[in-house]
Amino acid sequence: MIKLRTLVVAAALAATFNSARAEINDYYDGVDNRPIWTTGTYASQPNPNRGRLTFLYAHAFAQTPFNNHYHTIGSYFFVGPSNAPVVVPTNANFRIPEGYTGQPPLTLTPATNGPFVGKLVNRATSEHYSDARISSVHRLLQHVTSTRTNTFGWGSGEYIMFHSSGGRFTNSLDGVVVAMELVQKSPELRVGTATQPEALANPGDRVTMGDGANFEFTPVVWAEPNTAPGTYELKFKLVDVGGGPSPALESGIVTFWYRVVGEPQLTIAKTVMLKMPQVTDGYVLEEAPSVDGPWTPLSTAPTLEVVGSGEGAAQTGLKFLSQSAEAATKVYRLRKL
C-alpha cells in the first residue's frame, strides 16, 4: 500500500556549502607519531596515543584546501590534575556527529535495493558525516595501481590532508591489518558488512577492515523498519590483527550516534514554506492542483536548514522549500516509493 502524507493549502501561495570533495572521504585511520602532548593543561606529558591506531575525521575545504586537517575522534586523553594525570581511552571529541556542531544524530533511512532492502540503514545522504567509508590515510598519497594512477601530488587537497597536523599521522602502516572491534551498541542496532550483516553482535566481536597501508571499508549499521523513533549508539575501536613483530596499539573508543525519525511529514509555515526532515530518501515530494491530481514531482530541490556560519555552521536536521504565489490552492504530499 502506498502511504501518503497530504497537506492542502487554501490560500494564495506566496545555504550550506556541500561540494564534492574529490577523493577525500570523511573517515581515515592512521598511527599517531607525536611523542609529546603539546597543548593545554597537559602540555609536555608523553602522548598516550603515540603508536596507536587513530580514527580521524577529514575536515576538507574544497575551495581552500590549504585549510584541510584532521579531527581525532575518541583518541586517548588525560583527566585529573596536570601533575598526576590519568589516561582514559576517549576524549571530549568522542563522537560523530561531532558535538560542537549541534547536528542531530545520523539518520537511518529505508534501503530500496540490495541485501538490506526494507531495513533502515546508514548510507551517504545530504547529512554531514553520513558517508561511512573508512580508509587508510595512505590512500591519500600519490600512487599507481594496475588500473589507475591518481594525481594526488604536491599541493593537492589530498597531499595537504595527509601532511596536516604537522605530519602526525604519516607513519607507515606496512604490516598492520586493521579490524573494527565492537565495544558497545544499542540493542536495536545491527552492525556488520554487506556480506556479514551481524558480524559485530557482541562486545569483543571483530571484523577485518583490511591492509593498513591501503584499505577502504564501509561498515553497515542497520535496524528493523519498525524500530521506535529515537537515538541509538554504537561504540567501537580499531585494533591491529596482523600479528606482526611491532603491532600498532589499539585506538581509543569511537562513538557514532544514529537516529530513527519515523516517516517524514510535511509542515507548512505561515510564509507558505514546506518543511521536512533533511533525509527523505525513499520518498518523492509531489504537488497537484487538488487531491484528485494530477500529481507532479517538484523539480526544485529543497534547501538544507543551517544555523551559524563558517566552520561553526551546523545542520538542524531539516530542509525547506518556499513556493511562489501561483494558484489559490495547492496540494502537496510525500509519496513513499
3-state secondary structure the chain: CCCEEEEEEECCCCCCCCCCCCCCCCEEEEECCCCECCCHHHCCCECCCCCEEEEEEEECCCCCHHHCEEEECCCCEEECCCCCCEEECCCCCCEECCHHHCCCCEECEECCCCCCCCCEECCCCCCCCCCCCEEEHHHHCCCECCCCECCCCCCCHHHHHHCHHHHCCCCCCCCCEEEEEEEEECCCCEEECCCCCCCCCCCCCEEEEEECCCCEECCEEEECCCCCCEEEEEEEEEEECCCCCCCCECCCCEEEEEEECCCCCCEECCCCEEEEECCCCCEEEEEECCCCCCCEECCCCCEEEEECCHHHCEEEEEEEEECCCCCCEEEEEEEEC
Question: Can you tell me the distance from the alpha carbon of 311 to that of 309, in angstroms, rounded to the nearest whole number?
Answer: 7
- pLDDT at residue 19, as a whole number: 31
Question: What whole-number distance in Å separates Cα of residue 306 and Cα of residue 304?
Answer: 6
295-301 long-range contacts (CB < 8 A, ≥24 apart) are: 295/333, 295/335
C-alpha 332/C-alpha 274 separation (Å) is: 9
Nearest to 7 by CA among 292, 334, 336: 334
Are the C-beta atoms of residues 102 and 111 closer than 8 Å to each other? no
In this predicted structure, what is the pLDDT of residue 20? 33
Q: How confident is the chain (337 residues) per 10-residue block, as mean pLDDT? A: 40 30 81 93 94 94 86 95 94 92 94 90 93 93 62 76 91 94 98 94 97 93 96 98 91 97 70 78 86 87 81 82 69 84
Those residues whose C-beta lies under 8 Å from the C-beta of residue 26, and which sit 6 or more positions away, are: 57, 58, 129, 131, 132, 133
User: What are residue 66's phi and psi, to 5 degrees?
Assistant: -70, -10
Provide the grid cell at 211.
591492509
In the numeric block, the cell 484528485 is attached to 292
What local confidence, expressed as pLDDT, does residue 281 receive?
85
How far apart are alpha carbons 16 and 321 in whole angstroms?
14
3 is written with which cell numbers?
502511504
Those residues whose C-beta lies under 8 Å from the C-beta of residue 184, and which sit 6 or more positions away, are 203, 233, 234, 235
Predicted confidence at residue 269, as pLDDT, reads: 54
CB 26 within 8 A of CB 219: no
Q: How many residues does the chain have?
A: 337
Which pLDDT does position 12 carry in this prediction? 31
Nearest to 178 by CA among 54, 70, 89, 94: 54
Nearest C-alpha neighbor of 237 from the set 179, 157, 286, 320: 179
* Residue written as grid cell 580508509: 135
